[in-house]
């Protein structure tokens, strides 16, 4: 029996590359995002390359909470079950607090956390009914420390996402439901499009391979890629504020 995987935010970047990686492994996919034209192009690419798998594509704005539940229920019905749901959709449009851009920070919270909560609720409802499943939340290295400027609200949403994942994990500790939290470092994507911004950035394919490997191992949490981000997580947590304040 093939594994059925839902990926949100699958129209580009990390989500699209995850779809390519899992398709190569023979997984059935249910892909959703706001940009339907890109989803359809990705679906066509994958079904042409891997004709033995099923690839579903559906438009979804994760801030439309009712539609999140409807989408996940449709996917479960069409595929027969959901084995893994990857909560990946997110934006990075925050602005410094108190500079008149509450709208941008609110949009970031609504997408990155409230939208993620809706996805978790919808996925876990299916998993509880099945009594199995694998929930994956894509957090960020930004979850380990508040950062200044435009990153402040983004960091807060990713920290909240990690805490949400831990609570769900504890809630189903004695059930055959796995919860994984991923903490990606700098991986080239639409959020981090320019490799020159950091010597630590890796290309999309390499970064996503590390993410997929962690998911396939069903670990509780993982900094990805492990090097250098696992040791840097400790550094980020404990670095003096005067050092952290230089990040913008």
Q: How confident is the model over 24-48, as a mean pLDDT?
A: 97
Cβ–Cβ contacts within 10 Å for residue 84, how many? 22
Q: How confident is the model over 12-34, as a mean pLDDT?
A: 96
Which residue has better confidence, 100 or 234?
100
Query: End-to-end distance of the chain based on CA atoms, in angstroms?
Result: 47
Please count the structural domains in the chain: 1
Which residue has better confidence, 236 or 210?
210
Q: What is the pLDDT of residue 198?
A: 57
Structural domain of residue 112, as residue ranges?
4-244
Q: What is the pLDDT of residue 71?
A: 98
Q: Of the given ranges (80-94, 128-142, 149-163, 231-245), which has the lowest mean pLDDT?
A: 231-245
**Side-chain half-sphere of 62: how many Cα atoms within 13 Å?**
30
Q: Which residue numbers are catalytic?
A: 154
Q: What is the percent of the chain with per-residue pLDDT over 90, rounded to a whole number? A: 78
Which residue has better confidence, 192 or 180?
180
Place 196 in a pLDDT band, splitting at 50, 70 and 90.
Answer: very low
153: domain CATH number? 3.40.50.720
């Amino acid at each position: 029996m093939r594994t059925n995987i839902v990926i949100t935010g699958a129209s580009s970047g990390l989500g699209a590359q995850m779809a390519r990686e899992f398709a190569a492994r023979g997984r059935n996919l249910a892909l959703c995002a706001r940009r339907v034209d890109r989803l359809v192009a990705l679906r066509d690419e994958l079904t042409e390359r891997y004709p033995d798998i099923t690839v579903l594509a559906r438009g979804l704005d994760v801030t439309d909470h009712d539609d999140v539940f409807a989408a996940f229920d449709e996917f479960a019905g069409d595929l027969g079950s959901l084995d893994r749901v990857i909560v990946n959709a997110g934006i990075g449009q925050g602005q410094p607090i108190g500079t008149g851009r509450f709208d941008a920070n609110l949009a970031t919270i609504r997408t990155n956390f409230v939208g993620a909560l809706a996805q978790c609720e919808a996925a876990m409802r299916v998993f509880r009914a099945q009594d199995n499943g694998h929930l994956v939340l894509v957090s960020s290295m930004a979850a380990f420390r508040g950062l200044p400027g435009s990153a402040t609200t983004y960091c807060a949403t990713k920290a909240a996402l990690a805490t949400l994942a831990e609570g769900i994990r504890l809630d189903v500790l004695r059930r055959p439901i796995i919860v994984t939290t991923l903490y990606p470092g700098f991986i080239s994507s639409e959020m981090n499009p320019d490799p020159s911004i950091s010597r630590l950035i890796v290309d999309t394919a390499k970064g996503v391979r590390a993410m997929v490997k962690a998911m396939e191992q069903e670990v509780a949490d993982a900094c990805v890629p492990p090097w250098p981000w696992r040791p840097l997580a400790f550094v980020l947590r404990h670095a003096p504020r005067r050092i952290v304040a230089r990040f913008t």
